[in-house]
């Protein structure tokens, strides 16, 4: 009785093309030597390529052996042999070529059940656990088996599988709180009076208990990956809250740091302030901290050039090096930052750079600032009460400070050219000074707020949008340069009903 498994993937065989079946060099021996299995449940795959329609044929009465096909592989599985006899069958790969059929046969054999057997090489190699703990399952066959474990830090469970002689023995290790590794012994007693032992080891948990800090100083020519492995950090043997790395790093080294975020949820602080990225670093979609779920303090490395994406919502403090020239769109959007120092090297803060940083209560710009541009919604929905914009800034985008509900004082730069739409909407400003450099005040610049006093420093009234001014101008007192009162009263400012007073 035959069982046919057909592949319905057809690839035409042209008249000028020789049809073929190619089997990988590593798997060619299966055609001559067959597939040989121990008495336990097991599986193997054969990789191949063909340009013709093919079938897999197995004997229906060989229910202990199954074969499945993929696009370019055949997967053979056998169940546990619970009999005292070896068994065998044949799997046929039938290829349908233009010139006729072609059969490739693979003999599958399985050993008879032994008096006692155990999967893997556990008697020689033992079982090893990392410091974080884990589980290991060993499959054992035998009669009248007894298992004993002399340990307080790992436990043993035994499940019967297909027969009362076939067991799945699971060893579970708890987390190791100790610096040094620890040992245990699993003893297997079997008929009539024979015993074997399996050694169990667990790595120690190496970390500085006093400071919970790991410090790594990179020597020239040594990749960071080697340090992370030797210290036990990348293997999970170390659990620290603060990681400090110094020395010269490559971008690949930085990527190694980024990868650690997935397995080190306990890390709260990453200090790279004394590290130098040789090629320069751009934080972007490829290099960011999206997998660092609990990071609160970040000191970026020297020679960081741009910050396009940080992608760490839990971040509360960040130190930006003096090499950064641009903070990109939504770079820190939605972060938990409470304060930020913008270094003088930054020339642009792009759209939404700090959008939705609801905890951001302090923004400071370093002296001798070169900042020229603050984009739309750059600081929207932040919580600071006051801010001094550097005099180097010429452009502040629309809604840059909108919905900053606590903002009650702002100092605008003396090179600012205009106020865009809704720049200060829904803030707490009651008084503002607009420098003489501003020539245009757009509609809704101060909407949704209780503005009472405006100081206009220009002798020439700035252009305003007369039809969409909120709050109404007749609620506002405008102070202008002495001697320019009539000029302002005759301008749109006066026509809209503002009280004009010279100062």
Decide if 146 contacts 193 (C-beta within 8 A). Answer: no
pLDDT score at 193: 67
Average confidence (pLDDT) per 10 residues, the chain, 503 residues: 44 45 82 86 84 81 85 84 83 83 89 75 87 88 82 89 80 82 88 79 63 82 85 76 92 88 85 93 85 91 92 92 94 94 95 95 91 96 96 94 96 93 92 95 85 94 77 87 95 89 94
Q: What sign results for the dihedral spanned by CA atoms 274, 279, 283, 289?
A: negative
CB burial string 308-321: b at 16+ within 10 A, e below: bbbbbbebbebebb
Q: Dig out the tokens for 257 from the structure.
A: 């740091």
pLDDT of residue 114: 61
Does the pTM surpass 0.75? The reply is no
CA 481/CA 272 separation, integer angstroms: 51
Q: At 205, list the tokens.
A: 């948990």
What does the alpha-carbon distance between residue 259 and residue 292 come to, in Å, rounded to a whole number? 9
Spell out the domains of the chain, with CATH numbers in brackets: 2-110 (2.60.40.10), 116-202 (2.60.40.10)
Q: How distant, in Å, are the alpha carbons of 376, 411, 416 from that of 444?
A: 14, 19, 18
Q: Identify the pLDDT of residue 207.
A: 47
Q: Is-contact 488 478, C-beta < 8 A?
A: yes
Q: What is the pLDDT of residue 311?
A: 85
Rounded (to 5) percent helix, strand, coil in the chain: 10, 40, 50
């Amino acid at each position: 009785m035959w069982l046919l498994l057909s592949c319905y993937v057809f690839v035409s065989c042209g008249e000028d093309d020789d049809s073929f079946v190619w089997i990988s060099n590593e798997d060619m021996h299966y055609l001559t030597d067959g597939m040989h299995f121990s008495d336990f449940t097991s599986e193997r795959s054969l990789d191949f390529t063909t340009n013709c329609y093919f079938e897999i044929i197995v004997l229906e009465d060989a229910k202990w052996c199954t074969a499945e096909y993929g696009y370019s592989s055949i997967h053979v599985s056998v169940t546990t042999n619970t009999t005292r006899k070896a068994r065998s069958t044949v799997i046929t790969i039938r290829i349908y070529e233009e010139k006729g059929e072609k059969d490739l046969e693979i003999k599958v054999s399985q050993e008879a059940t032994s008096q006692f057997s155990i999967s893997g090489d556990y008697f020689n190699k033992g079982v090893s656990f990392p410091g974080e703990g884990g589980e290991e399952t060993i499959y054992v066959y035998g009669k009248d088996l007894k298992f004993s474990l002399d340990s307080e830090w790992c436990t043993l469970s035994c499940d019967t599988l297909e027969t009362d002689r076939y067991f799945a023995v699971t060893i579970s290790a708890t987390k190791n709180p100790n610096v040094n590794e620890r040992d245990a012994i699993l003893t297997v007693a079997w008929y009539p009076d024979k015993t074997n032992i399996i050694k169990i080891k667990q790595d120690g948990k190496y970390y500085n208990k006093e400071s919970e800090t790991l410090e790594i100083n990179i020597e020239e020519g040594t990749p960071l990956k080697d340090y992370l492995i030797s210290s036990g950090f990348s293997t999970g043997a170390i659990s620290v809250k603060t990681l400090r790395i110094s020395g010269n790093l490559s971008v690949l080294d930085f990527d190694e740091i980024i990868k650690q975020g997935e397995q080190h949820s306990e890390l709260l602080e990453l200090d790279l302030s004394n590290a130098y990225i040789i090629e320069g670093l751009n934080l972007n979609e490829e290099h960011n901290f999206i997998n660092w779920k609990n990071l609160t303090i970040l000191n970026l490395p020297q020679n960081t050039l741009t910050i396009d994406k940080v992608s760490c919502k839990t971040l509360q403090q960040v130190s930006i090096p003096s090499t950064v020239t641009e903070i990109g769109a939504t770079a820190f959007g939605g972060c938990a930052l409470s304060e930020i120092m913008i270094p003088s090297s930054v020339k642009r803060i792009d759209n939404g750079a700090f959008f939705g940083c609801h905890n951001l209560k302090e923004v400071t710009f370093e002296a001798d600032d070169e900042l020229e541009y603050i984009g739309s919604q750059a600081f929207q929905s932040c919580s600071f009460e006051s801010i001094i914009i550097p005099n180097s800034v010429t452009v502040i985008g629309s809604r840059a400070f909108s919905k900053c509900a606590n903002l009650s004082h702002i100092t605008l730069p003396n090179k600012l050219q205009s106020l865009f739409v809704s720049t200060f909407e829904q803030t707490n400003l009651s008084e503002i000074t607009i420098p003489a450099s501003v020539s245009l005040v757009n509609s809704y610049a101060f909407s949704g707020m209780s503005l009472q006093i405006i100081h206009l420093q220009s002798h020439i009234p700035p252009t305003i949008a007369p039809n969409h001014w909120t709050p109404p101008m007749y609620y506002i007192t405008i102070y202008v340069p002495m001697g320019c009162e009539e000029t302002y009263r005759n301008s749109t400012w006066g026509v809209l009903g503002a009280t004009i007073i010279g100062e």
